[in-house]
């Protein structure tokens, strides 16, 4: 079955109409659609991202089928390892442009790191940071954190419930649940210390530069750099 907006061109059906950009895309179905979906999600350049971003990769690759959003949601839902992020605070540090803390988030599969310099370490800034991540990368299946009050509070819980994200807490019995973000924090601190030298008050200006080694370092687990994904 071919969706109504599709037209036959050069022996193939092409779609134009429901996508906002009005770009003509080749209509696919059945096994070909699933193969394309798997390639865009978990192929060499897939990145194992969330449903929205994976669907965008399919569109950007020039393909369309009517049930794409349903299919991509079902696919991503089956990959628990694709849907975990760790989050933690660093600091307090010497004030830098009013900032004393760094909030760090790590994607457990792609190893992508996001970090933001902040004045405080309360629930309000955590929620704002996460909403920004969700809008950019999609929502994970689980957020893993320690038991700090900036993560364990009603405001944080409401946001997790709103976006359908499971909040998992690290424990002394399962330190691996927060291990990746803690390793990232230690490495980020070392890089910042070397970058700022004696001018410790400049660390907030150097934070973005300090993230580049994370993006460009080859990761054996994914077979490339996080930046490549």
Distance separating alpha carbons of residues 87 and 102, to the nearest angstrom: 11
What confidence category does residue 26 fall into, taking pLDDT thresholds of 50, 70 and 90?
confident
Structure tokens at 213: 């080694």
What confidence category does residue 198 fall into, taking pLDDT thresholds of 50, 70 and 90?
confident
CA 201 to chain centre: 30
Torsion angles phi and psi, residue 170, rounded to 5? -75, 150
Among 18-22, 68-72, 101-105, the least confident range: 18-22
Identify the helix (H) or strand (E) that includes residue 107.
strand 101-107
DSSP symbols for 162-185:
HHT-EEEE-BTTBGGGTHHHHHHH
pLDDT tens digits, 51-99: 777 888 998 989 988 888 888 878 876 766 667 899 999 999 999 999 9
More confident residue, 228 or 104: 104
pLDDT at 11: 40
Give the whole-number percent of the chain exceeding pLDDT 90: 47
Which residue bears the tokens 């390793």?
183
pLDDT at 13: 46
Among 28-37, 49-58, 146-155, the least confident range: 49-58
Average pLDDT for the chain: 83
Specify whether the CB–CB gap between 73 and 79 falls below 8 A: no
Q: What angle do CA 79, 59, 134 make, to 5 degrees?
A: 50
Q: Which domains does the chain have, with CATH numbers?
A: 6-78 (no CATH), 81-216 (3.30.420.10)
Which has the closest alpha carbon to 41: 7, 86, 90, 74? 74
Average pLDDT over residues 145-165: 95
Structure tokens at 34: 């699933």
pLDDT at 22: 63
For the chain, where are the alpha helices, taking DSSP H only?
A: 30-42, 51-60, 68-77, 123-137, 154-163, 179-196, 203-216
pTM over cut 0.75: no
pLDDT at 2: 43
Give the whole-number percent of the chain exceeding pLDDT 70: 80
Q: 3-state DSSP call for residue 223?
A: coil
Identify the helix (H) or strand (E) that includes residue 117.
strand 113-118
More confident residue, 164 or 224: 164
């Amino acid at each position: 079955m071919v969706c109504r907006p599709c037209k036959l061109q050069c022996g193939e059906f092409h779609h134009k109409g429901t996508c906002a950009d009005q770009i003509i895309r080749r209509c696919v179905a059945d096994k070909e659609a699933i193969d394309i979906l798997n390639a865009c999600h978990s192929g060499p350049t897939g990145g194992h991202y969330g449903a929205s971003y994976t669907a965008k990769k399919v569109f950007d690759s020039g393909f369309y089928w009517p049930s794409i959003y349903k299919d991509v949601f079902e696919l991503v839902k089956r990959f628990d390892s694709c849907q975990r992020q760790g989050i933690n605070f660093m600091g307090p540090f010497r004030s830098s442009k009013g900032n004393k803390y760094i909030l760090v988030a790590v994607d457990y599969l792609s190893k992508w790191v996001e970090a933001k310099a902040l004045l405080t370490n309360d629930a309000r800034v955590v929620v704002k940071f996460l909403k920004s991540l969700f809008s950019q990368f999609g929502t994970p299946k689980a957020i893993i954190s320690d038991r700090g009050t900036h993560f364990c509070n009603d405001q944080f819980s409401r946001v997790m419930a709103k976006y359908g994200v499971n909040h998992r807490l690290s424990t002394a019995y399962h330190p691996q649940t927060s291990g990746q973000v803690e390793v990232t924090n230690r490495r980020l601190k070392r890089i910042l210390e070397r970058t700022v030298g004696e001018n410790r008050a400049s660390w907030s200006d150097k934070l973005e530069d300090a993230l580049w080694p994370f993006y460009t370092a080859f990761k054996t687990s994914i077979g490339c750099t996080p930046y490549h994904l």
